[in-house]
């Protein structure tokens, strides 16, 4: 039997997904994206899972879309099938939080995949970049849109136009990653963060994610209203009663995720 292109393990209420094309530095081909999509769909729908961690290996999170597969494609090939337009954008519609745990290279589509996640924890070995310009193309999985939102126009232009990579320290300074940890602690730290998230009330977690994402899609006025209505809505959950009562009674809450 062939090795899966994405391995899955469950740790408590956390699903750990590991990209598994090490010989090609986890280059993203259609088969890998399809396996990733299927696993994310499965765990997103699983009530026993509260958070997902997506990682690669020590050398690469992913070194981009598969250049070997793309090299002979024509404009007609990519545009007629809207190359990864549909399924790729579906990846961001999952409701459970997804943490990217990045060591080594996160380049091109690999950097774009990390940016599709809800936040990035980087190993000190991580290197981020959008080097597509060197191949005679541009980022095609959201890099020209998500990178400037994450790091600002100046740094995004610099990275995309020159193709230079940035290290973990620069990525943290510029807001692309939430924290940098020693490479040998990456999975431990990411699982720990995911375990904390998955111990929170799931309805609050889902709404918090939706509200933060809404900040990038709407005016402040609309975003604030969206937040307020969802805040109100959470008072209909058992977990709001449990969370607030537990605080007053000076004990740990036991959330039922409803
Ligand atoms: N696609 C296909 N294969 C890739 C790959 C990619 N994106 N990146 C690396 N590989 C393969 C290499 O061909 C090599 O395979 P072989 O052993 O069979 O020759 C193997 O992975 C190891 O790579 P290197 O020998 O090049 O390793 P290195 O340590 O010398 O260099 C690297 C590492 C700097 C990351 C270099 O591999 C590299 O520059 N990779 C390409 C990065 C890139 O341009 N990414 C953007 C892709 S386009 C894209 O993503 C489009 C989009 O936005 C939609």
Mean pLDDT, the chain, integer: 96
CA of residue 121 to ligand 1 center, whole Å = 22
Q: What was the pLDDT predicted at 88? A: 81
Q: What was the pLDDT predicted at 83? A: 82
Q: What was the pLDDT predicted at 87? A: 76
Residue of 64, 72, 104 best suited for mutating to test ligand 1, as the one with most atoms within 8 Å of CB: 64
**Contact by Cβ (8 Å): 67, 109:** no
Ligand 1 pocket check for 62: Cβ under 6 Å: no
> How many CA within 13 A on the CB side of residue 173?
7
Q: How far apart are CA 18 and CA 238, in angstroms?
A: 34
Q: What residues of the chain score a pLDDT lower than 50? A: none
- Kindly list the distances between the CA atom of residue 103 and the CA atoms of 62, 121, 149, in Å, as whole numbers in the listed order: 9, 9, 22
CA-83 nearest atom, ligand 1 = 54
Is 85 an annotated catalytic residue? no
Q: What was the pLDDT predicted at 14? A: 98
**Contact by Cβ (8 Å): 151, 175:** yes
For the stretch 68-98, pLDDT in tens is 999 999 999 999 888 877 778 888 889 999 9
SS3 for 184?
Answer: helix
Q: Tell me: ipTM over 0.95.
A: yes
Is 65 an annotated catalytic residue? yes
For the stretch 178-206, pLDDT in tens is 999 999 999 999 999 999 999 999 999 99
CA end-to-end span of the chain, whole Å?
40
What is the reported pTM?
0.97
> How many CA within 13 A on the CB side of residue 144?
7
Residue of 20, 23, 24, 60 best suited for mutating to test ligand 1, as the one with most atoms within 8 Å of CB: 24
Q: How far apart are CA 11 and CA 206, in angstroms?
A: 20
Q: How far apart are CA 209 and CA 199, in angstroms?
A: 15
């Amino acid at each position: 039997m062939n090795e899966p292109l994405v391995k899955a393990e469950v740790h408590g209420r956390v699903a750990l997904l590991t990209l598994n094309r090490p010989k090609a530095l986890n280059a993203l081909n259609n088969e890998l994206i399809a396996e990733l999509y299927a696993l994310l769909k499965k765990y997103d729908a699983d009530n026993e899972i509260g958070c997902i961690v997506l990682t690669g290996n020590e050398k690469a999170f992913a070194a981009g879309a598969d250049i070997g597969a793309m090299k002979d494609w024509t404009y007609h090939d990519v545009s007629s099938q809207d190359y990864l337009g549909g399924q790729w954008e579906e990846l961001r519609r999952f409701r459970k939080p997804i943490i990217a745990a990045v060591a080594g290279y996160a380049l091109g589509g690999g950097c774009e995949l990390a940016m599709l996640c809800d936040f990035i924890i980087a190993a000190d070995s991580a290197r981020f970049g959008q080097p597509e310009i060197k191949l005679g193309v541009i980022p095609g999985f959201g890099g020209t849109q998500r990178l400037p939102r994450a790091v600002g126009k100046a740094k995004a232009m610099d990275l995309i136009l020159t193709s230079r990579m940035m290290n973990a320290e620069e990525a943290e300074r510029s807001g692309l990653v939430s924290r940098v940890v020693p490479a040998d602690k990456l999975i431990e730290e990411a699982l720990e963060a995911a375990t904390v998230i998955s111990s929170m009330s799931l309805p609050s977690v889902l709404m918090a994610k939706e509200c933060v994402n809404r900040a990038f899609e709407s005016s402040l006025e609309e975003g604030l209203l969206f937040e307020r209505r969802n805040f109100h809505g959470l008072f209909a959950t058992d977990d709001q009663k449990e969370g607030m009562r537990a605080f007053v009674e000076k004990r740990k809450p036991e959330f039922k995720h409803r």
